[in-house]
Amino acid sequence: MSASRERILARLRASQPAQPLPTPVLDAHYTPRARNEGVRERLARFRTGIESFHAEVHVSSEAGWPALLGRLCADKGVGTLMYGADTPAGRQLDPSAFAATVLRPWAGAVEDLKADLFHRVDAGFTQTLGAIAETGTLIVWPSEAEPRTLSLVPPIHFALLDARDIHPTFFDAMRAGNWASGLPTNALLISGPSKTADIQQTLAYGAHGPKELVVIVINAEGEVQ
């Protein structure tokens, strides 16, 4: 307990209002603006949003997406694709669908594969927790199986999204998933490939993170199952 801590807190307490102000009511803002929309409409809004941020969106099926990923990797000349093997999606990846690409599961700590990650891996593949329709945003929660840097360091990020997990707003996503009860060490919202407008307000993609973001959407048909 530092002296500064005590001094700062004492100073704040001395002038803190006796009664805190009323707790803000967020529902009063969000509820009247809620849309009555299905998966199809949400996906359409998500797509418009994220495509406006230069992400690529492909619609596939639960069975067909690994083959599509293989084709996309071939088209983009991806030599090495890194992914988390110990995930539901990772277990579906089959090297036979990747004729031109080496499938490399993440193994070990980042310290042991930093050089490869920075210089030799062309693309990273991750699952997503869902998405946000309002802004065109992916929700990614990195984990032991899918580390943080997988969606950050390689020049291309492939992300798999289940259309049924698209929420209308960020607020809805946090409420629905009860985020406040437990967050991972790192949670991310991702809206497009990295970009900057720091030189004369000219937009340029591929600043420090991925240059391309490719989203593969499954279960786009609607509320089946």
Partner 1 sequence: MSAPHATSAAASSSKRDARPIAFVSAQALRERMHDAVNDPHLRKSFRGAMDFLMAKRAAQFPDESELDSLRTLSEGIRQYSLSRLPDLLEQLEAKLTRNGVQVHWAADADEANAIMLGIARRHAAKTIVKGKSMVSEEIEFNHAMHDAGIDALESDMGEYIVQLAGEKPSHIIMPAIHKTKEQIATLFAEKVPGVSYTDNVDTLIQIGRQVLREKFEQADIGLSGVNFAVAETGTLCLVENEGNGRMCTTVPRVHMAITGIEKVVEKLEHVAPLYSILTRSATGQAISTYFNLISGPRKPGEKDGPEEVHLILLDNGRSQAYADEQLRKTLQCIRCGACMNHCPVYTRIGGLAYGTTYPGPIGKIISPHLMGLEQTHLLPTVSTLCGACGEVCPVKIPIPELLVRLRGEAQSKPHDNPVMVGQGAGYSALASFVWRTWARIYARPGNYRMFSWLASRFRALTPSRQSGWTAARTPLTPAPRRLRDMVRDRQ
Cβ closest to partner 1, residue 58 vs residue 211: 211
Cβ closest to partner 1, residue 55 vs residue 218: 55
Sole residue written with tokens 């997988």: 150
Cβ closest to partner 1, residue 80 vs residue 135: 135
Residue 151 CB, nearest approach to partner 1 (Å): 9
Distance CA 146, CA 29 (A): 35
Distance CA 100, CA 122 (A): 12
Q: Which two tokens stand for residue 61?
A: 């099926």
Residue 87 CB, nearest approach to partner 1 (Å): 13
Distance CA 144, CA 86 (A): 9
Residue 136 CB, nearest approach to partner 1 (Å): 8
Nearest CA-CA partner of 72 in 88, 83, 56: 56
Residue 223 CB, nearest approach to partner 1 (Å): 25
Spatial contact of 130 and 162, defined as CB atoms under 8 Å apart:
yes
Cβ closest to partner 1, residue 101 vs residue 191: 191
